[in-house]
Amino acid sequence: MRLSRRFHTLKLRALHIGRIRIYTTMAYIFHQDDLPKLVAVVPGRERTFFVNKELTNIDDMLAGVMEYKAHGSSPYHYHEVCEHFYFIMEGNGTVETEEGVRPVGPGDLVFIPAEAKHRLRASETGLFYFEFQAPNRFKTHILDGIPDDLRWNRVDGRVWVQT
């Protein structure tokens, strides 16, 4: 099913520049059940974006939720020109960086600077977290993994390839 644009605009704000009046949208409200779910080609990960170019017509940021099944993991990788964070809401796992491996769980916020090598891995509990990346104009480099680690199948049948 194609993504329905069922979202709510809270209100418009008028911005006056001389005699010109520009209306800007104040906010969007999306419900996760109305958004496309992406399922990793390599099993164990699912994601739903709340902010991306398709939904909000901006590419300054990428934000959404990610679920890792038990023992699911990302490849060891880094992103050019992109900082991001994970806020862990449920489950437990580890974050691997060049400095070592650290445990993470509910309430932990993990900040990944641009160019930092990292991998997130779920324990037997799985992981559910909010992810924010900015800007959304980055390239991902896999250091330990395969190209399919960046391929995601949309529930509607289309494929999204992380760049």
The H or E element containing residue 55 is: helix 53-56
Q: What is the pLDDT of residue 58?
A: 77
Dihedral (CA of 129, 133, 136, 140) sign: negative
Give the per-residue pLDDT at 51: 79
> Along the 163 residues of the chain, how does pLDDT read in single tens digits?
333 444 444 444 544 445 555 445 556 777 777 777 889 999 999 998 887 777 777 778 888 999 999 999 999 999 998 899 999 999 999 999 999 999 999 999 999 999 999 999 999 999 999 999 887 778 889 999 998 988 888 886 555 555 5
Q: In this predicted structure, what is the pLDDT of residue 24? A: 55
Query: CATH fold of 32-161, please?
Result: Jelly Rolls (2.60.120)
8-state DSSP, 143? E
The pLDDT score that the predictor gives to residue 77 is 93
User: Phi/psi of residue 75, each to 5°?
Assistant: -70, 160
How far apart CA 141 and CA 151 sit, in angstroms, is 13
As beta bridge partners, residue 7 has none
pLDDT value, residue 20:
54
Lookup result for tokens 């641009």: 114
pLDDT of residue 19: 54
Domain boundaries, given as residue ranges, for the chain: 32-161
| Residue-level length of the chain | 163
Instruction: Label residue 44 left, alpha or beta by phi (over 0 means left) and psi (-120 to 50 means alpha).
Output: left
In this structure, the number of other CB atoms found within 10 A of the CB of residue 36 comes to 19
SS3 148: helix
Residue type, 137: R
What's the CA gap between 149 and 34, in Å, rounded?
25
